[in-house]
Amino acid sequence: MDSTLPTVPNDLAALKSAYAADGWCRIPFRLDAPTVERIRDRVDAISAERRPEVVHEKDSDTVRAIHGCHAFDDLCAALVQHPGLVAVAEALIGGPVYVYQFKVNLKQAHEGAAWPWHQDFSFWNQQDGMKRPDAVNLAVALDPIHEANGPLTVLPGSHRLGLLDLPDPARASGDWRRHVSADLAYTVGTNTVDELARELGTALVTGEAGEIHAFHPSIVHSSTNNTSSDRRALLLITYNAVGNEPEAPTRPDFLVSRDATPVTGTADERIGTLGATLV
């Protein structure tokens, strides 16, 4: 790790209060261009593999997402240990963390399909048995993200409302494919979203490649189809509080990590430098 690069934001208190109020915030550092390029290359290589972690859009060869890559790819394994990411996750959660989930949602040009309005914690709580929403998503843009390539849209402050519009447990789908497809098993209904959007407003999470945002497990969010000719790859690392591990998860381990070893935020010598710069 190049010691001249500021990898740990020095104003974690400001970040924490923005996150507590709004349920999302921009992280004041970004991955540099060569690092983003290296990750993009890995993502392309993994996407070409036929393995269960690679999920396609409905009835299509288009890759929608790749999952759990930190468990089998050296660069992704190093990324989850990035000292800046780990420091932010620990600050926002308030203690040691481990990696619960890792994915890259690719949202390919013209073909990448929407993510309906939902709360991540409904899946983690109802399907996996995660007790408290003491986790955080860190979302790293691997491509420039703009209004037309399907950015994440959040309802700021909605994370404080608890779980909304949960289906009858007997009717909730336990098929994990419906947890990663455009036909999501747990959604927040249009009426609820309209009402909340009037009250709370909406925010588009756009930005340059390398930029990073945090968002809360209970924030209501969605993203639209990619109608542009630009891919929108978004890499998402979910850190969970040590002590908040689900007891007996049943979904595949590439969706729910069984390895709750705390991440320490040390640079990984297998990989070398993962650069970051302040924004």
Which is nearer to ligand SIN, 216 or 221 (by Cβ)?
221
234 binds, among Mn ion, ligand SIN, none (CB under 5 to 8 A by kind): ligand SIN
101 binds ligand SIN per the rule CB under 6 A: no
- Residue 245 within binding range of Mn ion, rule CB under 5 A: no
From candidates 55, 87, 92, 152, binder to ligand SIN by CB under 6 A: 152
> How near is the Cβ of 58 to ligand SIN at its closest, in Å?
16
Q: Is 124 in the site for ligand SIN (CB under 6 A)?
A: no
Give the whole-angstrom CA distance, residue 147 versus residue 273. 32
One-letter amino acid for residue 50 of the chain = R
Q: Which of residues 168-187 bind ligand SIN (CB under 6 A)?
A: none
Contact of residue 152 among Mn ion, ligand SIN, none (CB under 5-8 Å per partner type): ligand SIN
Q: Cβ 58 to Mn ion, closest distance in Å?
A: 18
259 class by beta-carbon count within 10 Å (0-12 exposed, 13-18 middle, 19+ buried): exposed
Are 21 and 159 in contact by the 8 Å Cβ rule? The answer is: no
Question: Which of 33/204 has CB closer to ligand SIN?
Answer: 204
Give the range of 105-113, 120-128, 165-173, 177-185 binding Mn ion by CB under 5 A: 120-128
Q: Which residues 6+ apart lie within 8 Å of 53 measured at CB? A: 46, 66, 67, 68, 69, 72, 254
Using CB under 6 A as the binding rule, whether residue 78 contacts ligand SIN is answered as no
Nearest-approach distance from CB 236 to ligand SIN, in angstroms: 6
- Binders in 194-223 for ligand SIN, by CB under 6 A: 221, 223
Closer Cβ to Mn ion, 81 or 119, answer by number: 119
Q: Which of 36, 93, 141, 234 binds ligand SIN (CB under 6 A)?
A: 234
105: contact with ligand SIN by CB under 6 A: yes
Residue numbers at the binding site for ligand SIN (CB under 6 A): 105, 115, 120, 152, 221, 223, 234, 236
